[in-house]
Amino acid sequence: MSEITVGILGLGRGFTHLRNFLRLEGAKVIGAADQVGKWRERAQPLCEEHGVSLLHDFGDLLAMKPDAVVVASNGRLQARHAVMALGAGCHVLSEVPGAYTEEEIRHLVLAVERYGRQYMLAENSCFLDFLRYWRRWVRDGRLGPVAIAEAEYLHCLPNSMIDSERTKLTPSQVRDNGVLDARPSWRADQPPIQYLTHDLGPLLEVLDDKVVSVSCRNGPSWCPQAPLRADGQIALFQTAKGSLIKIMVTLNTRRPGAHNYRLFGIEGSAEWYSHEGFCRRFDRDREEGKGWERVDIGTAARDTDRSAGHGGTDIQMARSFVRALVDGRPVPIDVFRMADFTLAGILANRSAEAGGAPIAIPDIRRNPFVGTSFWEHVGLPEEEPEARDYRSDMGLTY
């Protein structure tokens, strides 16, 4: 196969996918659908320019028989739409979270097996460029065995209501402006920890591991603009190889949004904070007392268009999906790896509801997990930027 035809479902978040897939070699977008008029209006000029059919209903998109469908619909509908696409003979690239319940995940697995099509979770954070270097450092033993890993998803989302025009509003705005057609958004009562794939997924790929148990606790519910969910949750996972992974997700605390990641190896450590955009490293070859090194690797490879969504990770993800299908290979984040990322958050919230009681996380594969294939698609770097002394670079004297 030299080219796949693609349909896009959902033109809110999916508008970025529409732009990216139109640019990709090996992909031909033939249709895009959304029931929301303003999203279709925004996409209309681009669709007309490229001869893409602009549709209202998902059924009409499936009737065009694309080879693959990008599911970028409401988070609570993604699993249902993905199963429909698989049943129509389409491969699927689904936005996160991908599924909302364990039952939905199992239905997705059964649909993949029954219809013989591929499912990939659109977890763009796994394509952050610095992770390629982290994986190489871990593989080469530069940090020693990684005992603990941490990640944080910090995103203030007080607009927990949505009106008939799909405008996002806070409860205060609804009340003060007398909006009568507003309803809670799909995120309004979403347990924060269920939106952890951006954080857990990358760490599992770097460690080539999966989680087997979790204990989680709720923060308070003090934010008046999102009273249906906890202000944050913190989960502690045990992995199959024995590492601990701590994940914190908050959607209510007011601060700039960020993804933060840290590795704690017994011979060295690494960390990356999105607001800084570079890595700190202290590996086994670094002399004691010298402190961190600064390594200038960030969100996307230097030859990537960073305007293509989330610092360039969106188009890297889309390209990997297309290349896998064109080459007839398994996709980088298949339905079972999606389950590794997503079921962990669902069961973490169940633990929080039980006051932090530990819960086992099952492996729903037919055969036990033997390792990730993600890096076969993404590749590890042969070289890396020269490291600089962090203290000197920042003008620090201590």
Read off the pLDDT of residues 302-313 as tens digits, 9 standing for 90 and up: 556 656 667 889
Mean predicted confidence (pLDDT) in 293-308: 75
- Strand 279-282, strand 161-162: pairing: unpaired
Sheet holding 4-9, edge to edge: 53-55, 27-33, 4-9, 68-71, 91-94, 119-121
Residues 188-223 pLDDT 10s: 999 999 999 999 999 999 999 999 999 999 999 999
Output the pLDDT for position 281.
Answer: 97
Tell whether 165 and 289 lie within a shared domain.
yes
| 173 membership: H or E segment, kind and range | helix 171-176
Confidence band, pLDDT 50/70/90 cuts, at residue 116: very high
Does residue 90 surpass a pLDDT of 80? yes
Specify the pTM.
Answer: 0.95
Does residue 398 surpass a pLDDT of 60? no
Domain assignment of residue 382, yes or no: yes
Output the pLDDT for position 395.
Answer: 75
Confidence band, pLDDT 50/70/90 cuts, at residue 301: low
* 356 Ramachandran zone, left/alpha/beta (phi>0; psi -120 to 50): left
- Using the 3D structure, point to which of 117, 142, 158 is the last residue of a domain: 117
Output the pLDDT for position 306.
Answer: 56
Average pLDDT, the chain: 95
Output the pLDDT for position 283.
Answer: 96
- Of 229, 149, 163, the closest CA to residue 192 belongs to 229
Strand partners, 54: 32
Report whether 344 contacts 214 (CB < 8 A).
yes
Give the CATH number, domain containing residue 352. 3.30.360.10
Tell whether 215 and 249 lie within a shared domain.
yes
Residues 128-137 pLDDT 10s: 999 999 999 9
Tell whether 173 and 92 lie within a shared domain.
no
Tell whether 242 and 96 lie within a shared domain.
no
Mean pLDDT lowest among 11-15, 143-147, 163-167, 313-317: 163-167
Mean predicted confidence (pLDDT) in 365-385: 94
Confidence band, pLDDT 50/70/90 cuts, at residue 394: confident
Output the pLDDT for position 37.
Answer: 94
Output the pLDDT for position 43.
Answer: 98
Tell whether 98 and 135 lie within a shared domain.
no
Give the CATH number, domain containing residue 60. 3.40.50.720
Tell whether 294 and 379 lie within a shared domain.
yes
Does residue 280 surpass a pLDDT of 70? yes
CB atoms within 10 A of CB 393: 14
Domain count, the chain: 2
CB atoms within 10 A of CB 240: 17
Confidence band, pLDDT 50/70/90 cuts, at residue 262: very high
Confidence band, pLDDT 50/70/90 cuts, at residue 393: confident
Tell whether 139 and 100 lie within a shared domain.
no
Tell whether 85 and 193 lie within a shared domain.
no
**Over the range 152-163, which residues count as b (16 or more CB within 10 Å of their CB) and which as e?**
bbbbbbbbbbbb
Tell whether 49 and 156 lie within a shared domain.
no
Does residue 149 surpass a pLDDT of 70? yes
